[in-house]
Amino acid sequence: MRIRFHFRWIPFVVMLLLVALGVSLAQWQQRRGDEKVARAARLEAGNQAAPLVLSAAPLLPADAQAIEYRRVTVTGHFVPAWTVYLDNRPYKGQAGFHVLTPFQIDGSAMHVLVAQGWLPRNNAERTRIPDYATPKGTVTISGIARLNAGHVMELGTAPALAPQAIVQNADIGQLAQASGLALQPFILEETVNPVDSAAVPASSQLPVRDWPAPDFGADKHRGYAFQWYALALMAFLFFVFTGFRRANKQP
C-alpha cells in the first residue's frame, strides 16, 4: 500500500487565503505591539527627563507626539469660562467627571487644554457639578502631556461644545473651533496643584489628580499575533494532511 498526495485546487486556494490572512494579521498585531513598546519607552524616558517648559510657540501634531508623556510646566492663567466636563469617568468605582479647562500661556494668546482632575457626580442630580477650586491669576502648573483626554463610547449625535457643557468626549480641534481659542495640540494632565488646600473654602474641593497609568497592552498584541500565526500554520497543515490518501491498490 502506497501513500500519495491528492491535490485539489479549491482547498489549495482556500489554504493560501487563510495563510495570507493569518500572516498579515499577525504582522499587524506585531506592529501594534512594537508601537506600544515604543510608547512605554517614551513614558519611561519622559519620567526620567527634566520637565519641559512650555512656551507660546505653536506646536505641530508631530511635535505633540514627540513630547507625549513628558513632564511639562507652564505659566499663565486659567480660562474657566470655557471649562467643559467629561462624563462617564469613574474613579475607584464612583461616577464622576474630568474637568477640562483652557489655560492661557503667560504673555500670549496661545492656550493649552488642562485636565484639572476628577470630580464626583451627584447621584441625585446628575448634571450638578460640585463646587471646586480653580486657581485665579497667574500661576505655574505642572503635568503630563497627553495627546487626548481619552474616549468613551458615545451613542447618537454628540452635542455641540459650549461653555460649562457636560459631554462624553471633547476633541481639542473641536474645542478650539467652538471657543475661538488657539490651543496647543495636546492636553496637560495636571499633577501639581498650585492651590493651597488649606485656603480652599469649605464648600469647595480640589479635583482629584490620581491619573491612571497607561495600559499599553503590548503582551496582548503579541498573544494575538501568536494566535494568527497558529491559524495560518493550522490551515497549511490541514491542507497537507487531508491531501494525503492511502491507495488501496498499486497503480
Write the pLDDT tens digit of every residue in 180-202: 999 999 999 998 655 544 444 44
Q: Are 216 and 37 in contact (CB under 8 A)?
A: yes
Write the pLDDT tens digit of every residue in 222-241: 888 888 889 889 988 888 88
What pLDDT is stored for residue 10 in this prediction? 84
Write the pLDDT tens digit of every residue in 169-182: 988 999 999 999 99
> pTM for this structure?
0.69
Distance, in Å, from the CA atom of 115 to the CA atom of 83, rounded to the nearest integer, reads 10
Q: How many CA atoms, within 13 angstroms, populate the side-chain half-sphere of residue 24?
A: 6
- Residue 216's pLDDT band, with cuts at 50, 70 and 90, is low
- Residue 46's pLDDT band, with cuts at 50, 70 and 90, is low
